Structure 1
Amino acid sequence: MSLLLSNSAYAARSGETLYNSYCIACHMNGVAGAPKFGNKADWQPRIEKGIDTLLKDATSGYKAMPPKGLCFDCSEDELRGAIQYMIDNSSSN
């Protein structure tokens, strides 16, 4: 007997979903120096580093941020999506 899983079982979680599940704990209020969600001044210097550098730092951990923000089952694409979600919501205000 074979077990088939639906494609949704493998669907990547959205950046917003990851933010609300993991990132929000520190990025909502700037815990331990995390850039605050929605704060352009906090995010601008990080945006200038580029998404690849931000992804590398998020994956391995950076300063007080633990590796993958404790989302150990997050894929690289999911982490990239969460970073992009925070950038998109913090770069135009």
Structure 2
Amino acid sequence: AVTKADVEQYDLANGKTVYDANCASCHAAGIMGAPKTGTARKWNSRLPQGLATMIEKSVAGYEGEYRGSKTFMPAKGGNPDLTDKQVGDAVAYMVNEVL
């Protein structure tokens, strides 16, 4: 499970900046099964896999199912110019919003 100590290892202020510019377009509305930012019930099933796994999936991209609906996370949120660190900061920011 993810703890506050896990997310505090990341630059959450930078994560918010990256989120606002790249992630909010899907995560604010839950498009394509994206867990909505700030909605704990959408994140609770994902938290047990750990922050590192969530970041890996966000960097590499992910396709799957969640409660019978198709989900899709493009690699680096569809922005190949993002660094792995920027993606990690953004994921940590979103997770921090539900801890």
**Rounded Cα–Cα distance in structure 1 between residues aligned with 2:98 and 2:75:** 22
**Rounded Cα–Cα distance in structure 2 between residues aligned with 1:45 and 1:78:** 23
| 1:45 Cα deviation from its structure 2 partner | 1.4
1:16 aligns with 2:23: no
The alignment-based identity, stated in percent, is 33
Instruction: Give the letter for the 2:85 counterpart.
Output: D
> Partner of 2:19: helix, strand, or coil?
helix
Of Structure 1 and Structure 2, the greater strand share is in: 2
1:79 aligns with 2:78: no
**Rounded Cα–Cα distance in structure 2 between residues aligned with 1:17 and 1:37:** 14
| 1:71 Cα deviation from its structure 2 partner | 2.1
Q: Which has the higher contact order (CA 8 A, sep 6+)?
A: 2
Q: Which runs of 5+ in 1 are unaligned?
A: 1-12
Equivalent residue number for residue 67 of structure 1:
75
TM-score normalised by length of structure 1: 0.79
TM-score normalised by length of structure 2: 0.75
Q: Structure 1 stretches (4+) deviating beyond 2 angstroms?
A: none
1:53 aligns with 2:61: no
Deviations 1:47-75 (A, max 9, x none): 11111111111011112111100121211
Instruction: Give the letter for the 1:88 counterpart.
Output: N
Instruction: Give the letter for the 1:33 counterpart.
Output: G
Instruction: Give the letter for the 2:22 counterpart.
Output: Y
Q: Which runs of 5+ in 2 are unaligned?
A: 1-12, 64-71
Instruction: Give the letter for the 1:29 counterpart.
Output: A
Instruction: Give the letter for the 1:28 counterpart.
Output: A
